[in-house]
Amino acid sequence: MKQTYSRIVVKGGVLSPAELKQILELAESAGLATISFGSRQDILFIKEEGNLQIDTQDKFQLVSPDEIGAENIVSSYVSADIFPNTPWLTGDRYLYILEQFRVQPNLKINITDPKQRLVPLFTGHLNFIASAHEDYWYLYVRLPEWEDTMMYPALIYSWDMAKVASAIEAILQEEPENVEFLFELVNDAVDSNNRTVDSPLEVPFHPFPYYEGINRVGDDRYWLGLYWRNNRYYTDFLKVLCDLCADSRIGKISITPWKSIIIKGIPENTKIEWERLLGRYGINVRHSMLELNWHLPVNNKSALKLKEYLVENFDKRDISTYGLTFGITDYTRKAYYFTSIIVEKNLPPPGLDGIKIRNTYNLLYAKNFDPNTQQYIVYVQEVDKAELPGLLIELSKMYFEQLGKKPERSKKLSSPKETIKTEAYQCSDCLTVYDPQYGDSVQNIPALTPFEELPETYLCPLCDAPKAKFTLKIFEKQIE
C-alpha cells in the first residue's frame, strides 16, 4: 500500500499550544485524522493511499520525504527542569538560543545537555553539547562525508552558535577534511567569542528515564508524558489538549525523539482536569518500560510488528530492561544510532527477486551499553527472528552485570591517561594559543617556529591583536 507523508519542521522540538492546534487543523484540512512524530522532533502527515494535498502556509515549513536539506534542529529543551540537567541550562535559555536560528539549516543540528538521557547527543552533523562554563558549548562535528565525529578545538559561545552553524554550511563547498581545517575556515569567516577547551567532555551515565504519565516536579507542578504504540496521535484529542494547555497557562509543548509528547508546568490546581481529559478519551499512560524504550523507523510496519513480537516475548518471561534502549533498523552503515542495542535487518541477497526468503538480523550493542560512546560492537550476525528474544535477553543480562562498575572509557570521549605541563604563548584578548608545533598556516608561519622567532608584525589570527599581547602561559596537556 502506497503511503505519502510530509514533515513539518518544529525547531528544537518545541512549539506553543496555538501553533500545534494550527498544525492539527492543517492536517484535518488534508483529510487526516491523526498525526505522527519523527525521530528529529518533527511532525509527520502520513496518508495511507492517494496524494496528500496540503494548503501551504508560510508559518509552517513543510518538507517532502525526498527533499534534501531543511533539517530540523533537535534540542533537549524537553528534558529541562524535569530530568537531570546542567545547572545554568534552563528551559528559557534553550528558547533564547533557538531564537537565534532564523534560517532553517541544511545540516542536522543537535543542541543538548550531556546530563540528560532522553535526547541523543551525537546524531547530528553539528552537535552542540553544554559545558560546565555558563553559555559555552562543546561542538562535535560529523559532516555528511566524514566517517568519524571530531571535537571542534574551542568552546562556542551561546550567542555565536547560529552564526557558526551558518558559517560551516557556507564553507561546505571547500570540502574540509578535518576539524582543524574547518576551525581555520570558520575563524576566517566570522567573529566569535570562543573559549579554550580546558577539559574533555564528560558524559555521565544515567539509565534511560521513564517518560510517561503525570509526574510531580517541585512542590506545586507536574509534567505529563504521552505515548502511542503506533505513533498515530488523534487530532481531535490533541486539539482539546491544546485548549487545556491554554486554560492552564502552559506556553510550550515538547516532542521527544521517541515519538512522544511531554507537557511541563502543569499547575497542581488543574491536575484533576488533566486526569479527566485522559479518562474521557481513554488514554493509557501506564505503558511498561518494555514498550517505551524502543526506537523504530518512521512508518515502518514490519519494524513495528517485530517490536511487538519481541516485547511480547520479554513480557512473557518477566524480563527487566530498565535503563536499556533498543532500536530496529534496515541495514545501513550510514545510520546514526542512538540506542543501547540495535536490531539490524539485513537486505535480501541480490538476484532473488520474486523468491520469498526468511529475513535475517544482526545484533549490535553500544560499548558499555552507552550509545554516547558512538561505538557499536557486533554481537551476532544473520540470525533468524526466532532467535532474537533469547539473544536480546542475553544482552540485557550482560548490561545488568556491568551496571555500576567503572565503565571502559571510549577513545572518542575519554579523559586521557597522562597529563604533562607545557609552555605556550596565549593572546590576552581572545585567549587564542600559538602552538609552535603547528605554526600558523593562515599567516604562512611554518610548523616548529618558536614564538620568539615570529616577526614583530605578527598578529593574532583570531582577533588581530599584536604580538605584544601574547603572554607566556603554562598549560596542562593530556596525552594517552
| pLDDT for res 332 | 59
- Residue 473 is part of a domain; what is its CATH number? 2.20.28.10
> In whole angstroms, what is the distance from residue 204 CA to residue 219 CA?
27
> In whole angstroms, what is the distance from residue 163 CA to residue 280 CA?
47
> In whole angstroms, what is the distance from residue 111 CA to residue 158 CA?
10
Q: Is 469 helix (H, G, I), strand (E, B) or coil?
A: helix
Residues 277 and 315 in one domain: no
Please identify, among 256, 287, 318, the residue that sits at the C-terminal boundary of a domain: 287
Q: Nine-digit cell at 447? A: 610548523
Please identify, among 346, 371, 402, the residue that sits at the C-terminal boundary of a domain: 402
CB distance 26 to 58 below 8 Å = no
Residue 106: closest CA among 160, 78, 80, 144: 144
- Residue 29 is part of a domain; what is its CATH number? 3.90.480.10
The DSSP code sequence of 186-202 is HHHH-----B---S---
The torsion defined by the Cα of 177, 182, 184 and 187, in degrees rounded to 10, comes to 170
| pLDDT for res 312 | 92
Residue 419: exposure state from Cβ atoms within 10 A (0-12, 13-18, ≥19) = exposed
Contacts (Cβ under 8 Å, ≥6 apart) of 479? 416, 417, 418, 419, 420
| pLDDT for res 419 | 46
Q: Nine-digit cell at 413? A: 570521549
Give the CA count within 13 Å in the CB-facing half-sphere of 330. Answer: 8
| pLDDT for res 414 | 42
Residues 246 and 232 in one domain: yes
| pLDDT for res 47 | 80
Residues 101 and 3 in one domain: yes
The answer to the question of residue 129 being in a domain is no
Structural domain count, the chain: 3
The answer to the question of residue 458 being in a domain is yes
| pLDDT for res 416 | 40
| pLDDT < 70 positions in the chain | 1-5, 49-53, 55-58, 64-69, 331-335, 351-354, 406-422, 430, 442, 474-480
The answer to the question of residue 375 being in a domain is yes
The answer to the question of residue 437 being in a domain is yes
| pLDDT for res 68 | 57
Q: Nine-digit cell at 70? A: 531543511
Helix-then-strand count for the chain, H and E? 9, 24
Amino acid at 308: E
Contacts (Cβ under 8 Å, ≥6 apart) of 180? 153
Domain enclosing residue 340, as ranges: 293-402
Q: What is the reported pTM?
A: 0.81
Residues 357 and 468 in one domain: no
The answer to the question of residue 332 being in a domain is yes
Please identify, among 265, 287, 309, the residue that sits at the C-terminal boundary of a domain: 287
Residues 111 and 17 in one domain: yes
| pLDDT for res 470 | 85
Residues 75 and 207 in one domain: yes
| pLDDT for res 249 | 95
| pLDDT for res 323 | 85
Residues 57 and 76 in one domain: yes
Residues 452 and 306 in one domain: no
The helix (run of H) or strand (run of E) holding residue 184 is helix 179-189
